[in-house]
Structure 1
Amino acid sequence: AVPAGAALALLPLVFSVRAARALLPDAEHPARLVAPIRDTIAAANLSGLLLAIGLGAAGLLA
């Protein structure tokens, strides 16, 4: 079973959804893709970090 603390890794989903919503209408305009790319990078980095924190906290509390 996965510890409940691992659910922290779902928080960056907000960045992923925001990036996807901005990407779809602006896909033809590369200059407008800066924010969606930034959000995608933030989501990728934060999800791994938060998963590690959640799993680490679960290990410390067990």
Structure 2
Amino acid sequence: MDIREYLGDVLLLVILVISTLVLVFNLNFDLIKSVAAALMMLSLGGLIFLVHWKVRLIEKSLT
């Protein structure tokens, strides 16, 4: 697994979490709701990252 292949995915995941936290804090939510929103975005981003990783593994095994 080469980290350079997944650097874009990791960067987009970090941007997703940071933008969610900025949005939640600007809407004056409390800390618990902010943490919950961050965890939801991390889990969603992690799921997308895992699906992308599995697709790359399948592509490599087919070639």
TM-score by length of 2: 0.54
RCO higher in 1 or 2 (8 Å CA, sep ≥ 6)? 1
Structure 1 spans left out of the alignment, 5+ residues: none
Matched AA of 1:31: K
Change (3 A) 1:11 1:43: same
Q: Which runs of 5+ in 2 are unaligned?
A: none
What TM-score does the superposition give when structure 1 sets the normalisation length? 0.55
Q: Report deviation, 1:44.
A: 1.8
After superposition, the Cα gap between the structure-2 partners of 1:9 and 1:51, relative to the gap in structure 1 and judged at 3 Å, is: farther
